[in-house]
Structure 1
Amino acid sequence: MKKSIKEQKSVLIILLSNLFIAFLGMGLIIPVMPSFMDIMHLSGKTMGYLVAAFAGAQLIMSPFAGRWVDRYGRKKLITAGLFLFAVSELLFGLSTHVWLLYLSRILGGISASFIMPGVTAYVADITTNKERPKAMGYISAAISTGFIIGPGLGGYIAEYGIRMPFYVAAVIAFLACFLSIFILKEPLSKEQLAEIAENKKRTSFVGDLKKSLHPIYFIAFFIVFVLAFGLSAYETVFSLFSDHKFGFTPKDIAMIITISSIFGVIVQVLLFGKMVDLMGEKMLIQSCLIIGGILAIASTLISSFVAVLAVTCFIFLAFDLLRPALTTFLSRTAGKEQGFVAGMNSTYTSLGNIIGPALGGILFDIDIHYPYLFSAVILLFGLVITFKWKGKKLKESVLEN
C-alpha cells in the first residue's frame, strides 16, 4: 500500500537531492563560459554545442533508460547515473582540450538520462494519485533549483578557481551515489519488475515514439520540448549576454540567478497546488507560456541591474510552474507505464536542450539579442498549440486513468 508523503519524507529527500545534484551540474558550466571562451579561444557557437552535447547524449540514451528503469529497477538506474555524473564533472574539471570537454558533457548527458526517469518513476510508485501533483511539484522544484542555482553556485565557487565548481560537484555526486546505494530500497518487487519487463518486450522505441504522438500525450510532450528549448536557450546565453551587453561580473550573474532561483522555488512549493486548483492545468500552462514569451522579448530592451533581476525572476518562475503542471498530467495519464512517460519526457526535454543551446549560440554570434527573440517566438508558438488541447478532453483523459 502506498504511503503518504509525510511518511516517506526521508526517501523523498534523497530522491530530490539526487535530481537536484544532476541538474546542478548542467548549470555549473554557465557562469564560467566567458572565462572558458577566453582561455580556450572558443566561440559562442562552440559553447552552445557543449551544452547541446549533454542533451544529445541524454536524447540517445533516454529511450533505453526509460525501458531499463522498468526492467532493472529504479534504484540501479539512479545510482549508476550518479556515478557517471560524478565522473563527468571530475573530467570536465581536469580537461585542457576541447574534445575532453565534449566527452565530459556526453557522460553527463548519459547520467541525466538515467537519473531523471529513475527518480520520476520511483516517486510515482510510492505516492498516491491524490498526492502525486504535490510530489511532482517537489520534483520540478528540485530540477529547477539545480538547473537555475547551478550557475549561481558555480559563479561563487569559481572565485576559488575556474575549475573548482566541477570538483565540488564530483565530490557531492560520489557522496550521493554512496548514500543512495545503502539507503534507497527498490520500490517494486522482483515480480512486479518482471511483469513490466515482459510487457516491455512487446514494444520498441519506435512503438513508444509513435505512442507519444497520441493526442493524449503529444501536446504535453511538445510543450515539454518548448519548455526545454526556451529555458536552455535563454540560460545558455544569459551569462554571455550579461557579460557582453552590461559588463556584469560572474558574481553579478551568480547573484541574479540565485535570487531568481530562490524566488521561483518558494512560489512553486507554496502556491503550485493552489494555482492548479484555481486555474486548472491548461490555463496555468498557457499563462506561463505567455509570460515567458513576453519577458524573453523584454530581456532585449532592459539595461539596469534591477530590471534584469526582475525580468529573470519572473521568467524563471514561469518555467518553474510550467514543468510540474506538465509532469503531473503525464504521470496521471501514464497509469502503470511510468517508465514510458518518464523516458519520453526525458527524450523531448533532450530535443529541446539540444536545439535550444546550439541555435542560441549560433544566433548569439550574429546578434546578442537574437537568441531571446527566437525563444519568445518558440514559446508563443507553443501557446498556439495548446489551444488545440481541449480542456474537457484533458480532464476526461486524466479521470479515465
Structure 2
Amino acid sequence: MKKTIKQQKSILIILLSNIFIAFLGIGLIIPVMPSFMNIMHLSGKTMGYLVAVFAVSQLLISPLAGYWVDRYGRKKIIIIGLFLFGVSELIFGLGTNVFVLYLSRILGGISAAFIMPGVTAYVADITSIQERSKAMGYISAAISTGFIIGPGVGGFIAEYGIRMPFYFAAAIAFLACITSIFILKEPLTKEELAEISANKKQTTIIRDFKKSFHPLYFIAFILVFVLAFGLSAYETIFSLFSDLKFGFTPKDIAAIITISSIFGVVVQVFVFAKMVDKLGEKKLIQLCLITAAIFAVASTLISSFLEVLAVACFIFLAFDLLRPALTTFLSKDAGKEQGFVAGMNSTYTSLGNIVGPAIGGILFDVNIHYPYLFAAVILVIGLGITFMWKEKPLGNA
C-alpha cells in the first residue's frame, strides 16, 4: 500500500523544489533581455531565438527522456537534469558571445526535458489514485510558480548585477542536485524498471508522436499545447506590452507577475483538488479555457495598474488550474507508462513554448494587441476541441 502525501512530505518537497528550480530558469531571462541586447549589441530577433531554442532542445529530447525515465529510473534522470541546468545557467552568466548564450539555452532545454518527466513519473509512482490530483496540483503549482515568478525574481536580483540572476539559479540548481543525490530513493525496483522497459521498444520521436495520436491522449496533448502556447505568448509579450503601452518599470512588471503567481499558487494548493472532485477534469478544463480567453481579450481594453494586475491574476490562475487538470487526467490513464506520458506532456509543452513566443513576437510588431487577441482565438479553438473529448477507458494505445 502506498504511503499518503503527508507521510512522504519531505520527498515531495524535494521533488517540487527540483521542478520549481527548472522552470524558474525559463523565466529568468525575460527581464534582463533588454540589458543583454544593449550590452552585447543583439537584435530582437536573436533574443527571440534565445527564448525559442530552449524549447526546441526540450522538444527534441523530451521523448528520449521519457523513455530513459522508464528504463534507468526516475532519480538518475532528475539528478542529471539538475546538474545540466546548473551548468547551463552558469554558462549564460559567464557568456560574452552569442554562441555561448545559445549553448546555455540548449543545455537548459535538455535539463528541463529530463527534470519534468522524471519528477512527474516519480510523484505518480508514490501516490495513490485517490491523491493523484492533489499531488499533480502541487507539481503544477511548482511549475507555474517557477515559470511565472521567474521574470519577477530575475528583475529583483538583477538590481545587484545583470548576470546575478543566472549565478543565483546555478547555485540553487547544484544545491538541489546534491540534496537529491542523498535524500531521494528510486521509487521502482530494478525488476519493475526492467519489466516496463521490456514492454516497450527503443523510443523515437516519430513513434511516440504516433502513439500520442490515440484519440484520448491526443486531445489532452493538444490542450497541453494550447496551454503552453497561451501562457508563453502572454508572458513573453507582457513585459514589452506593459512597457510600451503603460510605461511600467521593471519593478512594476515584477510586482504584477509575483502577485499573480502567488494568487495562482494559493488557489492551486488549497482549492484545485476540491474543484476536480466537484466538476471533474473536463469541466474544469473548459472553465479555465473560457476564463483565459475572456481575460486575454480584456488585456487589450485595460488602462490602469490595478486593472492590469487583476487581469493578469485571472489569466495566470486559469492557466495554473488547467495544467494540473490535464496532467492528472493523463497520469490516471498512463498506467505503467508514466515516463512516456510525462515525456510527451513535456514535448507538447515545448511545442507551445516555441510557437507561442514566435507568433506573439511577430504579431506584436504589427499591433501590440494582436498577440492577446490571437491567443484568445487559440484558447477558444481549444475549448471547441474539448467537446469532441469522449471520456472512456483508454485501453491499449
Q: How far does residue 324 in structure 1 lie from its aligned partner after superposition?
A: 0.4
User: Residues 174 and 238 (structure 1 numbering): CA distance in 2 closer, same or farther, change over 3 Å?
Assistant: same
* Structure 2 residues not aligned, in runs of 5+: none
Deviation sequence 1:1-42 (CA, Å, 0-9, x none): 311111111000000000000000001111112222333344
Q: CA deviation at 1:202?
A: 6.6
Q: Report the CA distance shift for 1:183/1:167 in structure 2 as closer, same or farther (over 3 A).
A: same
Amino acid across the alignment from 1:282? K
- Tell me the equivalent position of 2:28: 28
> Would you say the 8 A contact 1:36–1:42 is kept in 2?
yes
Cα deviation, residue 204, structure 1 = 4.5
CA distance in structure 1 between the aligned counterparts of 2:396 and 2:362, rounded to whole angstroms: 45
Runs of 4+ in 1 over 6 A off after TM superposition: 398-401
Q: Deviations over 1:335-367 (max 9, x none)?
A: 111011001101111110111112222222222
* Cross-structure match for 1:196: 196
C-alpha distance in 2, partners of 1:37/1:244?
A: 17
Distance 1:202 1:103 in 2: 27
Aligned residue in 2 for 1:14: 14
Instruction: State the one-letter code of the partner of 1:150.
Output: G
User: What residue in structure 2 maps to residue 147 of structure 1?
Assistant: 147
Match of 1:397 in 2: 393
Alignment of 1:328-367 (within 5 A): 328-367=328-367
Give aligned-pair identity as a percent.
79
Cα distance change on mapping 1:303 and 1:45 into 2, 3 Å: farther
1:202–1:181 distance in 2 versus 1, CA, 3 Å: closer
CA contact (8 A) 1:294 1:376 kept: yes
Q: TM-score, normalization: structure 1?
A: 0.96
Please list, as runs of the form range in 1=range in 2, the aligned pairs for 1:166-245 lying within 5 A after superposition: 166-201=166-201, 204-245=204-245
Q: Which residue of 1 aligns with 2:128?
A: 128
The match for 1:315 is 315
In structure 2, the residue matched to 1:77 is 77
**Consecutive unaligned residues in structure 1, runs of 5 or more:** none
Secondary structure of 2:30's aligned partner: coil
Decide whether the 8 Å contact of 1:50 with 1:105 is kept in 2.
Answer: yes
**Which 10-residue stretch deviates more, 293-302 or 59-68?**
293-302
Work out the number of aligned pairs and report it.
Answer: 397
What is the CA RMSD across the aligned residues, in angstroms?
1.6
Q: Is the 8 A contact 2:67 2:202 kept in 1?
A: no
Paired residue type of 1:15 = L
* Aligned partner letter, 2:99: W
1:54–1:108: 8 Å Cα contact kept in structure 2?
yes
TM (normalized to structure 2)? Answer: 0.97
Q: Give the match's secondary structure for 1:30.
A: helix
The CA distance in 2 between the partners of 1:400 and 1:109, in whole Å, is 31
Q: Is the 8 A contact 1:298 1:311 kept in 2?
A: yes
Question: Residue 58 of structure 2 contacts residue 110 of structure 2 at CA under 8 Å; is this kept in 1?
Answer: yes
Q: Partner of 2:302 in structure 1?
A: 302
